[in-house]
Amino acid sequence: MYPSTGVAAESGDTENALLKTASGISGLDEITSGGLPKGRPTLVAGKAGSGKTLFAMQFLVNGAVRYNEPGVFVSFEEREEDLVKNVHSLGFDLPQLIAEKKIALEYIRVERSEIEETGEFDLDGLFIRLAYAIDSIGAKRVALDTIETLFASLTNEGILRAELRRLLFWLKEKGVTAVVTGESGSGDSLTRHGLEEYVSDAVIFLDHRIRNEISTRRLRIVKYRGSSHGTNEYPFLITEREGFVIMPVTTLGLTHEALDERIPTGIPRLDTMLGGEGYYRGSSVLVSGTPGTGKTSLAAVFARAACQRGERCLYFTFEESPGQIVRNMRSIGIDLAPLIDAGLLTIHASRPMTYGLETHLATMIKAVQDLAPDVVVVDPISSLIAVGEEIDTKSMLTRLIDHLKSRHVTGLFTDLTPGAEGSSDQTTIGISSLMDTWILLKNVDSSGERNRVLHILKSRGMAHSNQVREFVITDEGIDLVDVYLGPAGVLTGSARHVQEAKERAEASERAESLRKRRIELERRQKAVEAQIAALEAELEAETDEFDRYRRQLELDDETRAGYRREMATRRRAD
């Protein structure tokens, strides 16, 4: 939050720098580098219903509540009790602030039918009432709403212009920061009576345009004397909790940090295809495909994986209600209900035609800021084409992606590509160049059936697979299986099953033949071993017989030798 009084950052000369008063309006102080010019009037112009009164009231309430700067609200159209009721739904407790002398309401009725102009008039009466109100509470802020009511009620426009110039000069002398609201005029004029000629310090234009029956609110800083400021049109919301909220998303650029951390996709084999670790955290992921290819299922798996890691996921859906998504994903084994109950998964559902593109962008960014998710799913971005032109949709998505990257939020976007008549390698909005990872899902027709395949067209900063995988959705979730690459090309589904069964049968036959050959070999080996054993036994027997014969011959020789020795002894021969 900006301090109540800031100094224009670009000045550097603190003595002569333009002082600013923080508005406290979300986003406005950012694009004005501090707020509205302090002690000067700011014109807030716009058509009826554009939010001028709320802008002025919120400027005063924020000053009273946040910055201890009391304020006076002067209304020329609505009575005090009506103002109190109108802003009560936004959380503004005006009676309490009035009781605490932080806010003063002044209703000045200017009814032309009840005014009889008898001569020259002046606004001294307004000065008196306003001065009393300012002094009674020590007001630092003043809002005049809508001052052009004076022009509609008083006919002498020349005198009224002079008095109005005197009023604004008087407010400057009082040192209060004023917001003056005015009805926008026709042509190039911001207001019906040229109020911008008098309020030359700062002019803010609120636009509430209706295009193709779709409402879009935008704010533009037309002029800010003495200060730089954002010059784009900024979408804004009027919410029940915060009132006026501006989304300065057009100030984003290519300055976000690129993280090295990787996060799983929820499908292990897809992680393997993405270098083994999944997506880069803070990157943008596109999942495109024709109808029925499983884009939402892949997104749901990614959301579930994030929640199972304890991270928060914000899921924007433009075609299905949260109940539909939970039911449909449960049928394929992805139960998101416990994750929603645990507060980890938030599904934000809206029809594309509910708002314009800028309001969609502002709503999504507001939700991201409120919930601070780790991952965001947008399903599908192609639905946004129904709201605006392709170039506007691409611009809107570019700013959303930049915003997510600046917060290190990983974004997964699904895109419904045309059917057979279109190329599946193209996106409906031409945003593929904005995506870090692009996964393409396709249906392949073969053998009288359709099957899903997945491949990665690109994934920046990592070596990824270039293989095609069959993408299978079962009752137990999603899995990737290898496709069959044969002479006839890629086989999927039943054709793959038939081919795989045929290959399994052939493999089984080969295994049986090998088994039989092995048994025959073993039988022959045993027969040979038996023959060898018999021959060895025969050889051993012959060896034994030989040994016995040899020993007998040796014994006979010894016997004959003994006999000759005995005969010699008897003959007394030597």
Q: Whole-angstrom Cα distance, residue 309 to residue 220?
A: 42
Q: Whole-angstrom Cα distance, residue 491 to residue 137?
A: 82
As a whole number of Å, the CA-based R_g of the chain is 44
Secondary structure (DSSP) of 165-202: HHHHHHHHHHT-EEEEEEE--STT-SSTT-GGGT--SE
Secondary structure (DSSP) of 387-435: TS-HHHHHHHHHHHHHHHHHTT-EEEEEEE---TTS-TTS-SSS-GGG-
What residue type is 439 in one-letter code? Answer: I
Which residue(s) pair with 223 in the sheet? 203
Average pLDDT of the chain, as a whole number: 85
Which pLDDT does position 97 carry in this prediction? 94
Is pLDDT above 80 for 270?
yes
CB atoms within 10 A of CB 522: 10
Q: Whole-angstrom Cα distance, residue 204 to residue 35?
A: 12
Q: Whole-angstrom Cα distance, residue 441 to residue 573?
A: 123
Q: Whole-angstrom Cα distance, residue 5 to residue 34?
A: 8
CB 400 within 8 A of CB 366: no
Is pLDDT above 50 for 421?
no
Residue 261, SS3?
Answer: coil
Of 122, 39, 47, 108, the C-alpha closest to 74 is 108
Which pLDDT does position 115 carry in this prediction? 53
Q: Whole-angstrom Cα distance, residue 51 to residue 42?
A: 15
Which residue(s) pair with 9 in the sheet? none
Higher pLDDT, 221 or 486: 221
Which pLDDT does position 391 carry in this prediction? 79
Q: Are strands 36-37 and 19-21 parallel, antiparallel or unpaired?
A: antiparallel
Q: Whole-angstrom Cα distance, residue 124 to residue 134?
A: 15
Q: Whole-angstrom Cα distance, residue 309 to residue 556?
A: 101
Which pLDDT does position 519 carry in this prediction? 94
Q: What is the mean pLDDT of residues 484-493?
A: 66
Q: What is the mean pLDDT of residues 163-173?
A: 86
Lowest-confidence pick of 29-43, 219-233, 419-433: 419-433
Q: Mind listing the pLDDT tens digit for each residue in 330-382?
A: 999 999 999 999 999 999 999 888 878 877 887 898 899 889 999 999 999 98
Q: Mind listing the pLDDT tens digit for each residue in 206-264?
A: 988 777 666 778 898 888 888 877 777 887 878 777 788 886 655 556 677 889 999 99
Residue 446, SS3?
Answer: strand
Is pLDDT above 80 for 79?
yes
Higher pLDDT, 220 or 496: 220
Q: What is the mean pLDDT of residues 54-79?
A: 93
Place of tokens 């495909």: 289
Hey, what's the torsion of the CAs at 545, 547, 551, 552, to 10 degrees? 20
What residue type is 550 in one-letter code? Answer: R
Cα torsion 241, 246, 251, 252: sign: positive
Is pLDDT above 80 for 430?
no
Is pLDDT above 50 for 200?
yes
Q: Whole-angstrom Cα distance, residue 36 to residue 548?
A: 131
Q: What is the mean pLDDT of residues 151-175?
A: 80
CA distances from 417 to 329, 441, 450, 452, 553 (A): 22, 10, 17, 15, 108
Which pLDDT does position 527 carry in this prediction? 94
- Residue 93 CB partners (closer than 8 Å, separation 6+): none
Q: Whole-angstrom Cα distance, residue 285 to residue 438?
A: 6
CB 202 within 8 A of CB 40: yes
Is pLDDT above 50 for 38?
yes
Place of tokens 């209706």: 210
pLDDT band at 9 (very low <50, low <70, confident <90, very high): very low
Lowest-confidence pick of 80-89, 449-458, 490-499: 490-499
- Residue 406 CB partners (closer than 8 Å, separation 6+): 252, 255, 256
Q: What is the mean pLDDT of residues 79-89?
A: 86
Is pLDDT above 70 for 10?
no
pLDDT band at 311 (very low <50, low <70, confident <90, very high): very high
Is pLDDT above 50 for 11?
no
Among 89-93, 105-109, 491-495, which range has the highest average pLDDT?
105-109
CB 158 within 8 A of CB 88: no
Lowest-confidence pick of 80-89, 478-487, 499-508: 478-487
pLDDT band at 122 (very low <50, low <70, confident <90, very high): low
pLDDT band at 559 (very low <50, low <70, confident <90, very high): very high
Higher pLDDT, 39 or 424: 39
CB 397 within 8 A of CB 429: yes
Which pLDDT does position 483 carry in this prediction? 67
Cis peptide before 250 (omega within 30 of 0): no
Q: How far is CA 67 from the centre of its chain?
A: 34
Q: Whole-angstrom Cα distance, residue 574 to residue 570?
A: 10
Residue 67, SS3?
Answer: coil
Lowest-confidence pick of 195-204, 215-224, 290-299, 370-379: 195-204
Determine the longest span between alpha carbons in the chain, in angstroms: 198
Which pLDDT does position 190 carry in this prediction? 72
Higher pLDDT, 388 or 542: 542
Query: What region does 34 belong to: left with phi over 0, alpha with psi -120 to 50, or beta?
Result: left
Of 212, 215, 194, the C-alpha closest to 203 is 194
Looking from the CA of 205 toward its CB, the CA atoms found within 13 Å total 18
Is pLDDT above 50 for 12?
no
CB 396 within 8 A of CB 360: yes
Q: Whole-angstrom Cα distance, residue 48 to residue 59?
A: 19
Which pLDDT does position 362 carry in this prediction? 79
Which pLDDT does position 574 carry in this prediction? 63
Is pLDDT above 90 for 456?
yes
Q: Whole-angstrom Cα distance, residue 266 to residue 313?
A: 13
